[in-house]
Amino acid sequence: MGLSQTRTGVFTDREFYNKLLKLGIPVVIQNFISSFLNMIDTVMVGKLGETAIAAVGIANQYFFIFNMFMVGISAGSAVFIAQFWGTKDLKNIKRILGVGLGSAVLVSIVFMAAGYLFPRQIIGLFNNEPQIMEAGVRYLQIVLISYLFTGITFIYNFSFRSIGNALQPMVISTVALACNAFFNYVLIFGKFGAPAMGVAGAALATVIARVVENAVLVASVYYRRGVLSASLRELTDFDFGFIKKAYRTIIPVLFNDVCWGMASMVYAVVYGRMGSPAVATIQIVNTITNLFMVVIFGMSSATAVMVGNSIGAGEEGRTREYARRFATLSITMGVALGLMLAVASPYLLNVFNVSRTVQNHAQIILYIIALVFFIRVFNIILIVGVLRGGGDARTA
């Protein structure tokens, strides 16, 4: 008997949790490894000093805005793919995949062009200190190469999750992230005969990892000839009416993510004007916080897929029950993770090679984040998971 016919306890339904774990655990593992290696990257760059951390952090603010565009496009496309997968409408899955890929490539090219033409203006938005400016520009102009590959990878990763296959992108991303950590070590510090490139080495390592990830991911799509193995004709087999319908959902999701990203960028601008210690503080805070957010990213991804699939299958009762359960779980998980963040943060801060002032400021901020963590988790699950997964992008 399905959820549409009966209610079982939020914490006791095995079928519900089997689906949640199958979809969520690979995403959690993928994001945890990504966040952990990002922390290693920050620690490695931190060996070069607070100026290097600040330069990379500021240059990555531009990537953060690009990232929000990619998340918006990918998540908007994934809403349709999850629902089409619920009805096994393979033709429209390939069409919406084509819309997503085309949009991602276009946005990637725009961001790359702007980054190459105006690198100093971009870095200058956040900080005008000469040393940070030079290092930030050097990092940005190299790492821009990775944007196109990152955009395509985003679309395929979200699409895989929407059809219930979260394992494949997890494995591929794990290999790519390990590749990133290895080349960071080699190129930043000049190991195994390579030149010591500093922040430029960190940027080049990112490019290598993104190219490897994208190449392996696309090769795996067409090697196995699955649902996403579409020909160019199948990817472009849509008219203006289909694009218009797709963008009615994609644009609100994109607008939401970009607005959130721009608001975060305003904070980054303020911190940047306060000097390199403030930028280093926030870079470290974000790195540590993301280690605890990975569970929520996995849970929100699973929520969106489960809700989208159930709506696509016409199971309204099941969808409502899923929404109720995820709301309850989000508060429980938020409180637990907030406590863990508060307890673990003093130990995690010790691995960073920064001044005592930066550590103290980071600790205060992390305690504040831990206190309100459950609110953040609740909002993410309801907005990114339930509302977007249900196709209600305007409310989200």
Of the given ranges (82-91, 117-126, 194-203, 310-319), which has the lowest mean pLDDT?
Answer: 310-319
Terminal-residue alpha carbon distance, the chain: 31
Q: What pLDDT does 148 receive?
A: 95
Residue type, 102: G
Q: What pLDDT does 394 receive?
A: 57
Q: What pLDDT does 9 receive?
A: 53
Q: What pLDDT does 5 receive?
A: 42
Cβ(390)–Cβ(249) below 8 Å:
no
The rounded mean pLDDT for the chain is: 84
Q: Count other Cβ atoms within 10 Å, centred on residue 25.
A: 16
**pLDDT tens-digit readout, 160-207:** 988 888 788 888 888 888 898 899 999 999 999 999 999 999 999 989
Q: What pLDDT does 2 receive?
A: 47
Task: Please give the structure tokens belonging to residue 150.
Answer: 């990152």
Q: Is 304 a residue whose pLDDT tops 60?
A: yes
Q: What pLDDT does 264 receive?
A: 76
φ, ψ of residue 366 to 5 degrees: the values are: -65, -35
Residue 243 vs residue 301, higher pLDDT: 243
Domain boundaries, the chain: 14-389
**pLDDT tens-digit readout, 100-118:** 999 999 999 999 999 999 9
Specify the pTM. 0.75
Q: How confident is the model at residue 13 (pLDDT cuts 50, 70, 90)?
A: low
Of the given ranges (99-113, 151-165, 275-289), which has the lowest mean pLDDT?
Answer: 275-289
Q: How many CA atoms are closer than 13 Å to the CA of 102, on its beta-carbon side?
A: 15
Q: Is 1 a residue whose pLDDT tops 70?
A: no
Residue type, 343: V
